[in-house]
Amino acid sequence: MNRKLFIALALILIFCCQTLAQTGIKKKRPLPYEYGRVVIDNYSADTDLSPVVFEHWIHRAKFTCRVCHVDIGFAMKTGGTGIKATDNARGFYCGTCHNGKMQNEGKAIFAACSRNASAGDQKRCIRCHSLGQKVASDYDFFKFSEPLPKERFGNGLDWEKAEEMGLIKPIAHLEGISSAKSALALQKDFSLNPKVEGMPDIIFSHRKHTVWNGCELCHPDIFMGVKKGTSRYSMVDISEGKSCGACHTTVAFPLMDCQRCHSKPVHP
């Protein structure tokens, strides 16, 4: 009797383990103000500071993706830049703007890391090194997002429309940092066939992506195919952060907002 019970329990345990292993743990969907949040923890622990919490929404309202990811040089992967306090203190990366001199909305932007930080600087340090800390921010997401056009997922905002309406004006050039650029050759939007019956074609807004990202942010690092139609993109790869997923799983509207990409009208 005991033996039968043991076998039955063992079978149940094996079944449960297999089921759990197959389905994994469901990821928590970030709240609108959390979407795009990046926690950077390269060297913080070495200095007894909390990891840095970077809020994309505050910064993307003020700058195009290109300014930060091309001109300033932030990597596209969390922790990929390997920012050190000395880099910031020298006026690079965060220190490009967070230098105590650059103005934003009539106020000097607080300085990031300094060479001779003292105990008195602790309050300033934890403005960025804020994971698990109670830090009052100058920016309130709900107040900020109130006048902006809404969307269903991600930050719950239509950033593109917000720019069209003139409600946000992302800066595309930082004096002394960005190279003087020739006029942008605007790219034509194009459609991609998903080759799945009933699934509308993707209208890729090449123009919008170029204006915000420039060319070199996507090519060739993210999209390396040189001939249209030769690269295959699967939703599995995209959801793992490849191609479109480099931004559309992290900062830009998420993949569950299907019809924003699969947008070609099905009925003529």
Partner 1 sequence: MLKRMFIAVVLITGLAGFSSTRAFGEPASPAAREREAWQKEFDEICSRTQDAMSLSQEELATLIQRADALLPQIEKLDETRKKVYMGRLRMCRGLYEYVLESKKNEKK
> Which residue number, 132 or 225, has a Cβ lying nearer to partner 1?
225
Contact status: 87 vs partner 1 (CB under 8 A)? yes
> Which residue number, 19 or 182, has a Cβ lying nearer to partner 1?
182
> Which residue number, 71 or 151, has a Cβ lying nearer to partner 1?
71
Nearest alpha carbon to residue 53 among 135, 138, 170: 135
Nearest alpha carbon to residue 188 among 201, 205, 200, 202: 205
In this structure, what token pair is assigned to residue 63? Answer: 């700058």
Query: Position 75: which residue type?
Result: A
Nearest distance from C-beta of residue 94 to partner 1, angstroms: 12
- Looking at residues 199 to 228 of the shown chain, list those that interact with partner 1 (rule: CB under 8 A): 214-217, 219-221, 224, 226-227
Interface residue with partner 1 among 82, 100, 132, 147 (CB under 8 A) is 82
User: What is the rounded (10 degree) CA torsion for 194, 199, 200, 206?
Assistant: -40
Contact status: 70 vs partner 1 (CB under 8 A)? yes
Distance from first CA to last CA of the chain, Å, rounded? 69
Cα 106 to Cα 101, 103, 109, 167, 173, distances in angstroms: 11, 6, 9, 18, 19
Separation CA 223–CA 48 (nearest Å): 39
- Looking at residues 226 to 255 of the shown chain, list those that interact with partner 1 (rule: CB under 8 A): 226-227
Nearest distance from C-beta of residue 184 to partner 1, angstroms: 4
Contact status: 175 vs partner 1 (CB under 8 A)? no
Cα 159 to Cα 2, 53, 68, 174, 253, distances in angstroms: 64, 22, 17, 21, 9
Nearest distance from C-beta of residue 87 to partner 1, angstroms: 5
- Looking at residues 102 to 131 of the shown chain, list those that interact with partner 1 (rule: CB under 8 A): none
- What does the binding site for partner 1 look like in residue numbers (CB under 8 A)? 70-73, 75, 82, 84, 86-87, 90, 92-93, 179-185, 187, 214-217, 219-221, 224, 226-227
